[in-house]
């Protein structure tokens, strides 16, 4: 490892801001990750380049290349409270990382309804707090078909009072409980 690489890896793992994202970088550093699905992309925001950094850390493991990255986001249809991100700009920035990027516009439920079967074997699923929570609640029923027993699933929890976010790893039991709750809600609505 070169001195530059050592400095860069030390920065990302120990000093990168926001500090909460370091949880993700460490998780990716410890496990071989080939496929990443992100619900609510963290790209190009001021001082917050979670996605690019995450792909950089995942690329440190040569046996995991090529990386396949899928982002589900509203892109141009984001609410005014979120930073604007065009599909074209996101694709351009992700292409520079070297990962094979697939961008799917839409809310989590409608996008996963179309794409969940194509996303089987996902190694890392990241769920941003910035996405529509009602859509996410419905989308959980589609997640079990995408994951395998060693999949890492992280959900961002935003603290409204402090404005800080943290990442919480979900285990298989929690995911299946969320999926069951989504199925019950859909049956009640029918």
In which band, very low, low, confident or very high, does the pLDDT at 156 lie, cut at 50, 70 and 90?
Answer: very high
Residue with more model confidence, 143 or 163? 143
pLDDT at 22: 94
- The tokens of 78 are what? 């984001």
Question: Of 71, 69, 1, 72, nearest to 33 (Cα)?
Answer: 69
Q: What is the pTM of this model?
A: 0.92
CA-to-CA dists, residue 112 to 28, 141, 160, angstroms: 23, 10, 27
Between CA 114 and CA 117, with CA 44 as vertex, the angle to 5 degrees is 15
In which band, very low, low, confident or very high, does the pLDDT at 169 lie, cut at 50, 70 and 90?
Answer: very high
Residue 158: pLDDT over 50: yes
Instruction: Please write the tens of the pLDDT for every residue from 28-59.
Output: 999 999 999 999 987 655 435 889 999 999 99
- CATH node for 32-189: 3.40.50.720
pLDDT at 81: 79
User: Domain residues of the chain, as ranges?
Assistant: 32-189
DSSP 59: T
């Amino acid at each position: 490892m070169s001195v530059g690489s050592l400095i860069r890896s030390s920065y990302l793992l120990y000093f990168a801001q926001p500090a909460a994202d370091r949880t993700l970088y460490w998780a990716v550093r410890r496990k071989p990750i080939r496929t990443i699905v992100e619900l609510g992309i963290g790209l190009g925001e001021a001082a917050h380049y979670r996605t690019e950094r995450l792909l950089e850390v995942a690329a440190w493991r040569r046996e995991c290349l090529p990386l396949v990255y899928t982002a589900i986001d509203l892109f141009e249809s984001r609410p005014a409270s979120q930073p604007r991100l065009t599909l074209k700009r996101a694709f351009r920035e992700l292409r520079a990382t070297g990962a094979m990027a697939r961008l799917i516009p839409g809310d989590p439920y409608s996008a996963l309804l179309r794409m969940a079967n194509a996303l089987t074997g996902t190694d890392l699923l990241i769920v941003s707090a910035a996405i529509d929570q009602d859509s996410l609640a419905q989308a959980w029923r589609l997640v079990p078909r995408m994951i395998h027993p060693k999949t890492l699933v992280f959900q961002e929890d935003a603290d409204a009072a402090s404005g800080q976010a943290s990442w919480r790893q979900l285990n298989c039991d929690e995911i299946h409980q969320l999926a069951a709750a989504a199925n019950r809600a859909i049956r009640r609505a029918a």
